[in-house]
Structure 1
Amino acid sequence: MDKKFGPQDVEIVSREPLYEGFFRMEKYRYRHKQYLGGWSPIIQREIFERGNAVGVLLFDPRLDRFVMIEQCRPGALDDKHSPWLLEIIAGMVEEGEYPHEVAHREAEEEARCSIYKLLEMPSYWVSPGGTSEYVDLFLGLVDSSNLVDYAGLDDEHEDIKVLAVTRQEMLQLLANGGISNAMALIAVQWFLLNEQQLELADERSTDPRIMDSF
Structure 2
Amino acid sequence: MPQQNTPSQFGKDDVKIEANDVVYNGYFKMVKYRFRHRLFAGGWSDAIERELFERGHAVAMLPYDPVTDKVVMVEQIRIGAMMASDSPWQLEIVAGIIDKDESPEEVAVREADEEAGLSVSKLERMTSYLSSSGGCSERIHLYLGLVDASNAEGVHGLPEEGEDILVHVVPFITAMQWIKEGKVENAASLIALQWLALNRDRVRAETSNIG
Are 2:82 and 1:69 aligned? no
Structure 1 segments, 4+ long, off by >2 Å, are 78-81, 194-200
Contact map agreement 1:70 1:84 (CA 8 A) in 2: yes
| Residue 116 of structure 1: aligned partner | 121
Letter in 2 for 1:176: E
Q: Give CA-to-partner distance per residue, 1:67-117, whole Å, 9 cap, x none.
A: 000001111113553211100000001111111111111111111101110
1:127 aligns to what SS in structure 2? Answer: coil
Which residue of 181, 188, 191 corresponds with 2:193? 188
Return the alpha-carbon distance in structure 1 between the equivalents of residues 74 and 206 of structure 2: 22
TM-score by length of 1: 0.90
What CA distance in whole angstroms lies between the structure 2 residues aligned with 1:101 and 1:80? 31
Identity %: 47
- Paired with 2:178 and 2:119, the residues of 1 have a C-alpha distance of 25
Aligned to 1:212: none
Report the 3-state secondary structure (helix = DSSP H, G, I; strand = E; otherwise coil) of the residue aligned with 2:190: helix
Q: Which runs of 5+ in 1 are unaligned?
A: 205-214
**Residue 33 (str. 1) matches residue 38 (str. 2):** yes
- What TM-score does the superposition give when structure 2 sets the normalisation length? 0.91
For residues 24-82 of structure 1, the C-alpha deviation after alignment (integer angstroms, 9 at most, x for no partner) is 10001111111111111111000110110100011000111000000011111135532
Q: Any stretches of 5+ residues in structure 2 without a counterpart?
A: 1-5
1:60 and 2:65 aligned: yes
Higher helix share: 2
The alignment's C-alpha RMSD in Å is 1.6
Find the partner of 2:8 among 3, 8, 29: 3
Provide, for residues 122-161 of structure 1, a one-character-per-residue CA deviation record: whole Å limited to 9, x for no partner.
1110110111111000000001111131110011010000
1:1-214 to 2 correspondences below 5 Å: 2-79=7-84, 81-198=86-203, 200-201=206-207, 203=210
